[in-house]
Amino acid sequence: MNNKDDKVLVIPIFPLELTVLPGEPQILRIFEPRYKQMLDDCLLDDAPFGLCLIDPFHPVAGWAGPHHIGTIARITEHEEVGSNHMIEIQGQRRFHIVNILEPALPPMDPVQHRVFPDLESLLELIEEEEITSKLYLRAEIEWLDEPEGELEEECKQRLEVAWMEFLEVLGHNNGMPEEILQEWKGAQLATVNEWDAAALWRIASVMVLNPDDKQTLLLSESISELAEEILHFVP
């Protein structure tokens, strides 16, 4: 459900073959000039960007387009490695794209351009009459409310069993001694006593790996719907 109390905001959009859930950490490598410009803008303004799974059926001005439900990504660490930028991010609030703002330039022919031009060269190609000098996608967004409600006891028990079984396999695969494994499982379970949205996002970020499956989770409107979707995607 959209939160109508919040005004529409404009944010940078980063379409990737990746879905980040609220609270989930990720590491990204930034190397394309348009996203280097986006990163510069975000770091300068201490602002987040929107991360969206690529929607191959809806390109924007020749670029890969985003799904219309995404997650705000807050930059927590940044490091330059040669010509690349390595950033650590954390997923935050979900949003819905209301309107996409096209970038200033279309994609370049990959046959003619075997390497990415530098940012300054691309900016020189932008016509003076262009209304924006942004090489990356931006969008007007509305926030989505967090899933609400309470889990039924039966669903809670199924989710707890599935999570503990997942951690059991994970611990054994990493050679964790049995005593330490059981203590670790107990400590993990203690962090989700409330079984609220934050707890379910945390569980999902560990148990659900496929980006398309995670994208489905982002559509959940209630706690029970989110829990059932998690259970659906767990082997």
- Taking only the tens of pLDDT, the chain with its 235 residues reads 444 445 679 999 999 999 999 999 999 999 988 999 999 999 999 999 999 999 999 999 889 999 999 999 999 999 999 889 999 999 999 999 999 999 988 776 544 445 566 666 666 666 654 556 799 999 999 999 999 999 999 999 999 999 999 999 999 999 999 999 999 999 999 888 789 999 999 999 999 999 999 999 999 999 999 999 999 998 7
Q: Same domain for 124 and 165?
A: no
Q: Which residues contact 22 (CB under 8 A, 6 or more apart)?
A: 71, 91, 92, 93, 94, 146, 197, 198, 201
Half-sphere exposure of 143 (CA within 13 A, CB side): 12
pLDDT at 83: 86
* 53, β-bridge pairs: 16
d(CA 64, CA 100): 12
Give me the domain span that covers residue 173: 153-233
pLDDT at 198: 94
- Within-domain flag for 109: yes
- Within-domain flag for 45: yes
- Within-domain flag for 90: yes
| CA-derived radius of gyration, the chain | 20
Q: Same domain for 38 and 82?
A: yes
Total domain count, the chain: 2
Q: Nearest to residue 41, comparing CAs of 7, 14, 6, 81?
A: 14
- From 143, 163, 189, give the residue that closes a domain: 143
Half-sphere exposure of 133 (CA within 13 A, CB side): 10
d(CA 168, CA 171): 5
Residue 22 to residues 117, 127, 132: CA-CA distances in angstroms? 34, 38, 30
pLDDT at 116: 63
Q: Same domain for 121 and 159?
A: no
pLDDT at 194: 85
pLDDT at 193: 78
> What CATH number does residue 28 fall under?
2.30.130.40
Q: Please give the span between the terminal C-alpha atoms of the chain, in angstroms, as a whole number.
A: 29
pLDDT at 234: 86
- From 90, 112, 143, give the residue that closes a domain: 143
DSSP code for 180: H
Residue 206 to residues 24, 28, 47, 188, 226: CA-CA distances in angstroms? 9, 18, 26, 12, 14
pLDDT at 75: 97
pLDDT at 4: 47
pLDDT at 132: 64
Q: Same domain for 115 and 227?
A: no
- Tracing tokens 């767990």 back to the chain, one arrives at 234
- Within-domain flag for 148: no
Q: Same domain for 133 and 166?
A: no
Q: Same domain for 95 and 173?
A: no
Length of the chain in terms of residues written: 235
- Tell how far CA 182 is from the center of its chain: 31
Q: Same domain for 29 and 119?
A: yes
How many other C-beta atoms are found inside a 10 Å radius of the C-beta of residue 11? 21
